[in-house]
Amino acid sequence: VLSASLYTRGHWKCCGNVFLSFAEKLLVLTVATEETDGFLRFMQSANYFNYTVKVLGMGEAWKGGDVGRSIGGGQKVRLLKEAMEALADQEDLLVLSVDSYDLIFAGGPEEILRKFQKANHKVLFAAEGLIWPDKRLADKYPSMRSGKRYLNSGGGFQKIVSQWNLHDNDDDQLFYTKIYLDPLQRQTLNMTLDHKCQIFQNLNGAVDEVLLKFGTDRVRVRNTVYDSLPVVVHGNGNTKMYLNYLANYVPNTWNYEHGCSHCDDDVMDLSQLKFPNVFVGVFIEQPTPFLPEFFQRLLTLDYPKDKLKVFVHNNEVYHEKHIQKFWEENRNVFNSFKVVGPEENLSQGEARNMGMDLCRKDATCDYYFSLDSDVMLTNRQTLKLLIEQNRKIIGPLVTRHGKLWSNFWGALSLDGYYARSEDYVDIVQRKRVGMWNIPFMAHVYLVKGSALRNELKERNYFVLEKLDPDMAFCRNAREMGVFMYITNRHDFGRLISTANYNISHYNNDLWQIFENPVDWKEKYIHQNYTRIFTENYLEQPCPDVFWFPVFSEKACDEIVEEMEHYGSWSGGKHEDKRISGGYETVPTDDIHMKQISYEKEWLHFIREFISPITLKVFSGYFTKGYALMNFVVKYTPARQAYLRPHHDSSTFTINIALNNKDTDFQGGGCRFHRYNCSIESPRKGWSFMHPGRLTHLHEGLPTTNGTRYIAVSFIDP
């Protein structure tokens, strides 16, 4: 439990410009033995308000005990005693003693002086609603009708700290408490507590009392119980994470008018520096869709590859073929490339420890970049942007498409799991843009190598009790006082869902149209598809026969591979048990989408990507996007070379070419008899769309060599 208190050596004078003269003589004393992230934040807030701060104990070994878990802190009192003795001749000096690791200023010196004068006491300590460290002393506190009753230690001044003759690891708050509880000393020292949080706001036991008050220039913390605006905000006890949340705004970190005011502080300019060495830890801990695309995005990061060393932990036998292919094609691209496979039988925590330790032990490693396989970094500048922010731990915001699921938590519940902070949704949706101190992140983050060799120098940070590895790492970082930041200043990419990823097919990503629609579209839809709507990018080679791009090369290849892997082609027979009635009038050598359990996905493809084109070319017709017959046809000279003239049992039909003429086959095409119009050079990935009944009698022209594949749907039968 840490402290805050005020003491004036002289006497208050009544009027005029006293406040300004006293402001010049306000001295802030704080004890800090090292420059932690919390200390630097404290100094930033102090400098913003132009406080005069004297730091005591910097560079000394801390001997005051583990005050985060138990009693202690006596070393602070000893240092304050020594400092106050040196100030003995400054009668008009107002001294403010505060902690620095978990405390910020929300207002300036003039406000403190004004409120201290109003309190009309010589010594003012912070107050809180919880008693520490000796609950047995509760009955000895003066009774009161309202306000916080118990002392929160603030440092000792002259008549108080001069009494200190204990050890560095004795408890400072108990020392001050006993003085305050002595009625004679309390009266002699003219001592009181800030019962209604006019100056000091201790958050322990009071989180529900405070909220943010946004102003034009800065943000304040408001105590709703006492309707006060405290000047000093202290994250004592288990409220340090809540202080981090408040400090994302207070005093001027972020507001609605100016946005993020600290995002460009202490940044690195990589254009003026040699690029740092980065160790990239890639973790494939479960079957992951679109893994080849993940590796391709890693390869295309805009960062010198000779500065990147790559460590891959693969826990899935299924993905060994993907990693092997990438390694064979790119093994000489990176500075080094190391793979640890499932045969090593490492737990996820052990693997993450191993990856991080490779950077820790390498003196040339400037940064460690942890990257899970379910992260799609669409921003090629991601690594540069993170390095430039110059934070010990920072991650880019990535979310699941169209959802609030992201790679960070804005708050934690009492049991250490997810809780939604007030600003979580606005950060995820980028309604508030900045750099945010948060309690938990996962999936992708950058850690300074210097932090791994100092604050985070222990090897085991990912294995802790029964916690998931990322929760264990973040808990260790929090306990070491290392701030973790998430930045949403740029659009970095997205998380993909690994849930329900079935790896029993030949090309499993084809089935991801529901779970990961954006990645499915990027992989399988033709790059010129959107031009259909923006540039009218389609053709009409025959009357009411529309021709447009829809599938990528990859989609065509994988659909063909999937069908050949299944292998049960119908043979083009009239007898067909797959259809109602068991007889096909105009049979083809085909496999139905239903046979490979792909009909649901295919119908969704029709609704998402074919229906909008239907509305464009057949104005006024609104399709249901439903088809009973969805199949891939295989034309070969030996089995079935052509298809006789026929009408389709559909309102309209799509016919998508799945391979290339001249390269894969010769001949082929489609002839529409009513219009005496033929299309003899189908394009891979392009689809015909034409009416099925009455007007468009058509035939499949003979395939003379090779194998031709097409995907067909009879839509709105």
What pLDDT is recorded for position 300? 97
Q: How many Å apart are CA 516 and CA 290, to the nearest integer?
A: 10
Query: Which residues pair with residue 409 across a beta bridge?
Result: 440
User: DSSP class of residue 702?
Assistant: P
Q: Give the model's pLDDT for residue 20.
A: 34
- What whole-number distance in Å separates Cα of residue 377 and Cα of residue 368? 16
Question: What is the helix (H) or strand (E) element at residue 292, kind and residue range?
Answer: helix 291-299
Inter-residue contact 394 to 445 (CB < 8 Å):
yes
- CB proximity list for 585: less than 8 A, separation 6 or greater: 574, 646
CA distance linking residue 209 with residue 360, whole number of Å: 43
| Contact status, residue 442 vs residue 450, Cβ threshold 8 Å | no
Q: Say how far apart CA 164 and CA 55 lie, in whole Å.
A: 20
| Cα distance between the two ends of the chain | 74
The verdict on whether 671 is a catalytic residue reads: no
Residue that is written with structure tokens 């003995």 in the block? 88
Amino acid at 416: G
- Distance (Å, rounded) from C-alpha 499 to C-alpha 208? 36
Phi, psi of 424 (to 5 degrees): -55, -50
Can you list the residues of the chain whose pLDDT is less than 70?
Answer: 1-24, 64-73, 154-171
Q: Both tokens of residue 40? A: 């630097």
**E strands present in 218-307:** 219-223, 232-234, 254-255, 259-260, 278-284
Query: CA 252, CA 250: separation in Å to the nearest integer?
Result: 5
659 vs 710: CA distance, rounded Å: 8
Inter-residue contact 340 to 314 (CB < 8 Å): yes
Q: Which residues contact 162 (CB under 8 A, 6 or more apart)?
A: 81, 84, 85, 156
Residue 474, helix vs strand vs coil: helix
- Cβ neighbourhood burial of 588 (10 Å; 0-12, 13-18, 19+): buried
- According to DSSP, the β-strands at 26-31 and 53-56 are parallel
What is the reported pLDDT for 672? Answer: 97
Q: Which residues contact 584 (CB under 8 A, 6 or more apart)?
A: 573, 574, 575, 576
Q: What is the largest CA-CA distance in the chain?
A: 113
Among 355, 378, 394, 224, smallest CA distance to 293 is for 378
Q: Which two tokens stand for residue 115?
A: 């409120």
Are 32 and 100 in contact by the 8 Å Cβ rule? The answer is yes
Position 178 scores a pLDDT of 86
- pLDDT for the residue 503: 98
- What number of other Cβ atoms are within 10 A of residue 491's Cβ? 12
Strand bridging mode 308-314 / 336-340: parallel
Element housing 79 (H / E): helix 74-86
Residue 88 contacts by C-beta under 8 Å, 6 or more apart in sequence? Answer: 158
Q: How many CB atoms lie within 10 A of CB 461?
A: 22
- For residue 98, give the nearest of 111, 112, 85 by alpha carbon: 112
What is the CB-side half-sphere exposure of residue 682 using CA atoms within 13 A?
Answer: 29
Q: What's the pLDDT at 427?
A: 98
Block residue for tokens 């200390």: 39
CA distance linking residue 527 with residue 550, whole number of Å: 8
The pLDDT assigned to 69 comes to: 54
Q: How many residues does the chain have?
A: 717
Torsion sign (Cα): 123, 126, 128, 130: negative
What's the token pair of residue 182? 């002595």
pTM to 2 decimal places:
0.91
Instruction: Decide the pairing of beta strands 703-706 and 418-419.
Output: unpaired
- Give me the pLDDT at residue 24, please: 52
Q: Give me the pLDDT at residue 526, please.
A: 99
Q: What whole-number distance in Å separates Cα of residue 689 and Cα of residue 687?
A: 6
Rounded to whole angstroms, the Cα distance separating 316 from 287 reads: 6
Alpha-carbon span 252 to 260, nearest angstrom = 8
Q: Which two tokens stand for residue 622?
A: 């609104």
Q: Spot the catalytic one: 78, 222, 360, 708.
A: 708
User: Residue with structure tokens 């990645």?
Assistant: 519
Cβ-contact 685, 526 below 8 angstroms:
yes
Sheet arrangement for strand 484-487 = 336-340, 308-314, 278-284, 367-372, 444-448, 393-396, 484-487, 435-438
Report the alpha-carbon distance of residue 228 to residue 222 in Å, rounded: 6
Three-state SS at 352? helix
Residue 31 bridge partners (DSSP) = 56
Q: Which two tokens stand for residue 482?
A: 């290392």
- Predicted local distance difference test score (pLDDT) of residue 19: 32
Instruction: Dig out the tokens for 189 from the structure.
Output: 């020292």
Q: How many CB atoms are located within 10 Å of the residue 234 CB?
A: 27
